[in-house]
Structure 1
Amino acid sequence: MSGLHEDALPARDAGRPGDLAVLLPFALSRNGPAVRLRPVHGWLLCGLAAVVLPAWAQGGGAVSSPLEVVIRWAPLLLTGFAFNVAISLMAMLLGTVAGTGLGIAMLAEGRILSRAAWTVTQVFRNVPWLVLLFFVMFLVPFQVTVFGMRVPLPDWIKATFGFSLPVMANVAEIVRGAVRSVPTTQWEAAESLAFTRRQILWRIILPQCAKRMLPPWMNVYALIAMATVQASIVGVTEMLTLTAQVHAAEGGRPELFAPLYGFALLCFFLYCYPIDRLTARLERRFETR
C-alpha cells in the first residue's frame, strides 16, 4: 500500500491525504513505575467503592441518588463522628488516670492492697465492654444532688464512664507489666543511693517505663475509639445512631444502606489506621531487648 514504509512517517507528512498515521513506539522506564501501590491503598479503594458504586448504580430520576444523600448528610454524620472521638478521648483520660493508680497499687508491698487492686483489674479486663456499659447506664442515676443542687447525668456522660472502666483495667496491667520489665539492677542501684521506694518508683522507674507503655496504650485507645459505636445501643446519639436516623429519614431505601454505613466505616478506618501505623512505628523505635 502506498504511503506505508518500513520507517515511521515524519511528523510533517502525517497529515497528507492517503497516508495512514503511524503510532510511534514509546520507551518504558527501566526504573519501574514512579508510584508504588501498597495493600492499604487497595483497602481505601474498596472503602470508597462501597460508598460510591451503589450511588452510581442506583442514582437517577427524581429521587436523590445515594451519593447525593451521603454528601447532603455528611456534615451531620461527621458531627456524630466527632462525638465518638470526644467520648473516646474523655474515657481514655479518665481510664488512664485511674489505671495508673490501680497499676501502682498492684505493685504495693502491702498484700491486701495489691490483692484488691489485682482483683479489680482482672474483673474489668475480663468482662465484655457492652455488659459494663449496660451496668453503668442502668445503675448510675439520671441525676445526683451535690450541696442541694441537682446535677443531671446525661447518657453520654454515663457511657463515657462505662468505657473508662475497661480502659482503667488495661492501663493498670500496662503499668504493672512495664514496671516489672525494668531490670532489678535499677531498683538495687537506687536503693544503694538511699532513695525511698516512692522516690525510686516516681523518679527512676516510671520515667523509664513511659516509652514501654506508649505503644500498648495507643492500642487500647484505638480499641476504645472503635468501641464507642456500642453507645448507640443504649441511646447515645453518636455517628451510628445518626446514620440510622438519616436512613429512616430518607424513607429506608435499601440502596442507601451500603453508602451510609460505608461512610461511617470509612471515617473510623481513616481515624484508626494512622494510629495503628504509628503504634507499630513506636514499637520498632522503642524496642527493648
Structure 2
Amino acid sequence: MLENSKGNGEEFINEVATIGRIHHFNIVRLLGFCSEGTRRALLYEFMPNGSLEKFIFSKISESTHRLLSWEKLQTIAIGVARGIEYLPQGCNQRILHFDIKPHNILLDHNLCPKISDFGLAKLCSKDQSIISMTAARGTPGYTAPELFSRNFGEVSYKSDIFSYGMMLLEMVGCRKNIDLSIENQSQIYFPEWIYNKVSQGKEFALEIEADGDEEIAKKLSIVALWCIQWNPTERPSMPIVIQMLEGDIESLEMPPKPFVSSDAEMDTM
C-alpha cells in the first residue's frame, strides 16, 4: 500500500507502466496495481524468505553463526549486481533505484535475490546520463554523497553503485555500516575498519569457517570499497563490479581510501 499519494495518479500510472515492463531474474516482478482516488497499491510476487536484512542482521537464538554461508553471500551479491546493471539499460527508460539496501533485497525459496521497492526510483530517458535532483533521496547510511552536494559530482546510476557498496560491507560484517551501539568507538564506522584490515593484509576473523571463506570476505570488501568511492567517476560500472566479483582475488587492486580517516585506533575489533 502506498501512503500519502498525491496528484491525479498520472505519474503513478506512468511509473507502474515502466516498472511493469521489467523482466529480470534479479528484480521482483510486478503482478498488478490498484489506483482508486488517493488509494494506491502495488502487487508483487511473493518472496517466501523475506528480505536480506533479516539474514545478515539477525542471529538465531543468539547464535554466533552466520545464517548464510560466504559462498551464498557471494552468489547473492552477484545477483543483486546483475539486477542493478539491468535497471539503467533494460527498459525504454533509464531507471535509478535510489534505495538499494538489505531491506529492499528480497529472497525467493532458493535464496535468489530480487531488488524490490521502487518507491524512490526515478525514471529518465535513455540519453540522459546526468540526473537533475531537487532534494536528496534514499536511506541514511546508503545515500551517495553527490545526492547531498554536487561538490562531490553529478547524480547518475553511479549513485546506486555507492548504495550497493555500503550493502556489500554490511553483508561482510553482518552489521550496519554505522552502528552507534558498538562499545569500541573505533569500530563505529565499519567501512574504515574494513579498509584498514584489507590494506594491512590482516585477517578479518569474521566467522571464517571453510576454505576459501577468507578470500570471499576479502573480495567482497575490496569490491565494496571501490563502490563507495566519494567521487562517482572513481566508482566502477556495474559490469566491472560483476567481473571483479566473479574473478580471482589476485586480480583485484586495492582502491584509494574512500573517506577521511579518523584518528581512532582500528587494530582491534
Shorter-chain TM-score: which interval? Answer: under 0.3
The structure with higher relative contact order (CA 8 Å, sep 6+) is 1
**Higher-helix-fraction structure:** 1
Query: Which is greater in Rg?
Result: 1
**Higher-strand-fraction structure:** 2
TM-score by length of 2: 0.27
